[in-house]
């Protein structure tokens, strides 16, 4: 459940609940009922609370018989009975209560010919009305503007309203909440699918398509999904064409470059030392171009691309072989290479010798930036689901805002713009893509004590793939 889903749901529900409650309160407060409307059309004033309470009671009992009226009176809350009296033809209250002075005064003044009257006394009013029940019996209904221990008749009107309306309000709010729940889910479902697809594209998966999920919808979100698929399809095609172009151009450059190197070697043999300096610069540029083309052709593509993990390699053996090969170079730079391998063997599915290039590129990058007297530590850690290979150096590290960018092809940090010291920005990109093809990931972070730590995570099936050292 997303935050947008909750926000849409709660917003719709709160608005609906406020509308329901406010409408009922306003209707009650203003007394918007047919009797009051007719009274206003006749030019009358708005009803006072006790008068409105009288009309409500009269309208309620007019279609009942004597037994039903008595049962209704007994069913009303105890606190509300002090505000009304219903008197029979013997001028006695149906509940046998003593009658207040105002009620006693109005009893003889109310008759079928004078069905409505009131009296004012002691700063409150008593209202009375004659009612004929459906069984033919006549009753007199009285309401009092204030009761013993109460402030005004407005209290009882309001409290009876709340007492009667809250079940309806609760049911209305629950129904509206259910409707808002499904409406919010309907909206948020489409946006959630778009969000997941966008994240997949951000990770490099351009094969994501979502329009088929909205085949039953004809709204703007469905149109957005179709436009999204159209965009990703064109982007995937453009990326494929770009990769193919780079590969094709690199292949085409290798042949003339090889001829150039052969011609350069012949020129060096025949120069008799006259232009050796110029030829050496040409050779340096040609070697640099050859290295760039070689790494471009070695750069894996993040799709199927024929990279089937059909071989098995020993990660421990790869790290030891790499350490042995790089020891002479590290010794010339006065850098210590350290290995921390807790197991004797760690098997992993791979394709050919791809993983060797991952560790080689990361370690050589560390060698390039580690100063003399520093060290590079390669540590293998086993978890329940993956191998973690950490390559930690004591160099200057990388600016925090560039830690993720160093795995992009041809990207070099500001301190590595010189080709002589910074290379050409393909080694870590090759390591990142090769790791991804193994279902893993690679991250870089600065060490608190200084230097860079590159962590390569490679998943495996933990069933006999390791052997303790």
- Give the pLDDT score at 77: 75
- Give the pLDDT score at 38: 40
Q: In what order do the strands lie in the sheet with 441-446?
A: 336-340, 375-382, 386-393, 452-459, 441-446
pLDDT above 70 covers what percent of the chain? Answer: 75
pLDDT at 181 over 80: no
Q: Which residues of 221-233 are buried (b: 16+ CB within 10 A; e: fewer)?
A: bbebbeebbeebe
pLDDT at 346 over 80: yes
pLDDT at 375 over 60: yes
Q: Is the model more confident about 363 or about 466? A: 363
Of 203, 240, 212, 211, residue with least CA distance to 227? 211
pLDDT at 148 over 50: no
70-74, 269-273, 387-391, range with the lowest pLDDT = 269-273
- Give the pLDDT score at 463: 47
Look up residue 11 and give its two tokens: 């917003």
- Give the pLDDT score at 35: 47
pTM value is 0.46
Q: CA 82 to CA 68: how far, in whole Å? A: 20
Residue 441 is among the residues annotated as catalytic for this protein: no
Look up residue 196 and give its two tokens: 């997941």
CATH topology of domain 311-468: Heat Shock Protein 90 (3.30.565)
- Range among 7-11, 103-107, 266-270, 425-429 rated most confident: 103-107
Dihedral sign of CA atoms 317, 322, 323, 325 in order: positive
Q: CA 22 to CA 20: how far, in whole Å? A: 6
pLDDT at 306 over 60: no
Mean of pLDDT over the chain = 77
- Give the pLDDT score at 150: 44
- Give the pLDDT score at 45: 47
Look up residue 237 and give its two tokens: 């095609």
Choice among 226, 251, 351, 441 that is catalytic: 251
Contact 127, 107 (CB under 8 A): no
pLDDT tens-digit series, residues 38-73: 444 344 445 566 777 777 788 878 888 888 888 888
Strand 138-144 relative to strand 84-87: parallel, antiparallel, unpaired?
antiparallel
Both ends of the chain: CA-CA distance in Å? 47
pLDDT at 131 over 70: yes
Look up residue 89 and give its two tokens: 């033809």
Of 429, 426, 423, 451, residue with least CA distance to 442? 429
1-10, 193-202, 390-399, range with the lowest pLDDT = 1-10
pLDDT tens-digit series, residues 441-462: 999 999 999 999 999 999 986 4
Domain extent listing, the chain: 3-165, 220-298, 311-468
pLDDT at 380 over 70: yes
Q: Per CATH, is 220-298 categorized as 1.10.287.130?
A: yes
Residue indicated by tokens 């910074």: 422
**Phi and psi angles of residue 448, each rounded to the nearest 5 degrees, phi first:** -60, -35
- Range among 90-104, 305-319, 405-419 rated most confident: 90-104
Dihedral angle computed from the Cα positions of residues 20, 25, 28 and 29, in that order, rounded to the nearest 10 degrees: -150
Q: CA 234 to CA 308: how far, in whole Å? A: 27
pLDDT at 37 over 50: no
Element (H or E) spanning 347, and its range? strand 343-350
Q: CA 152 to CA 377: how far, in whole Å? A: 86
Instruction: Report the top-level CATH class of 3-165.
Output: alpha beta
- Give the pLDDT score at 279: 78
pLDDT at 153 over 60: no
- Give the pLDDT score at 39: 45
């Amino acid at each position: 459940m997303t935050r947008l889903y909750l926000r849409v749901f709660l917003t719709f529900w709160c608005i609906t609940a406020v509308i329901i409650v406010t409408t009922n309160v306003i209707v009650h407060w203003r007394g918007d009922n047919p009797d009051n409307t007719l009274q206003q059309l006749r030019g009358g004033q708005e009803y006072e609370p006790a008068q409105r309470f009288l009309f409500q009671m009269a309208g309620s009992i007019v279609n009942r018989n004597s037994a039903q009226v008595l049962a209704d009176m007994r069913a009303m809350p105890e606190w509300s009975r002090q505000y009304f009296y219903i008197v029979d033809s013997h001028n006695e209250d149906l509940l046998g209560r003593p009658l207040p002075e105002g009620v006693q005064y109005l009893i003889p003044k109310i008759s079928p010919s004078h069905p409505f009257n009131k009296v004012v006394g002691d700063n409150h009013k008593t209202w009375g009305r004659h009612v004929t029940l459906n069984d033919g019996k006549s009753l007199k209904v009285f309401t009092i503007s204030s009761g013993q221990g109460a402030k005004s008749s407005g209290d009882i009107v309001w409290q009876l309203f709340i007492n009667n309306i809250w079940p309806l309000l609760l049911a209305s709010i629950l129904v509206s909440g259910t409707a808002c729940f499904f409406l919010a889910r309907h909206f948020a479902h489409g946006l959630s699918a778009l969000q997941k697809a966008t994240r997949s594209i951000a990770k490099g998966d351009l094969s994501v398509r979502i329009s088929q999920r909205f085949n039953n919808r004809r709204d703007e979100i469905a149109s957005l999904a179709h436009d999204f698929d159209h965009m990703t399809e064109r982007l995937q095609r453009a990326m494929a064409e770009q990769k193919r172009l780079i590969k094709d151009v690199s292949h085409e450059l290798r042949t003339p470059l090889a001829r150039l190197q052969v011609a350069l070697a012949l020129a060096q043999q025949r120069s008799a030392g006259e232009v050796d300096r110029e030829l050496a610069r040409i050779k340096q540029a040609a070697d640099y171009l050859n290295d760039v083309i070689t790494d471009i052709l070695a750069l894996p593509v993040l799709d199927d691309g024929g990279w089937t993990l059909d071989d098995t390699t020993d990660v421990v053996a790869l790290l030891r072989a790499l350490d042995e090969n790089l020891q002479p170079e590290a010794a010339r730079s006065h850098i210590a290479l350290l290995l921390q391998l807790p197991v004797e063997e760690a098997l992993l599915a791979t394709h050919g010798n791809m993983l060797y290039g991952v560790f080689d590129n990361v370690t050589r990058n560390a060698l390039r930036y580690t100063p003399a007297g520093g060290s590079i530590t390669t540590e293998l850690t086993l978890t329940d689901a993956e191998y973690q290979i950490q390559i930690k150096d004591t160099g200057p590290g990388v600016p925090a805002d560039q830690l993720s960018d160093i795995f992009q092809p041809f990207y070099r940090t500001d301190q590595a713009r010189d080709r002589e010291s910074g290379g050409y920005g393909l080694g870590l990109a090759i390591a990142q893509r090769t790791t991804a093809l193994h279902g893993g990931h690679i991250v870089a972070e600065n060490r608190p004590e200084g230097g860079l730590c590159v962590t390569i995570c490679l998943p495996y099936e933990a069933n006999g793939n390791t052997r303790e050292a």
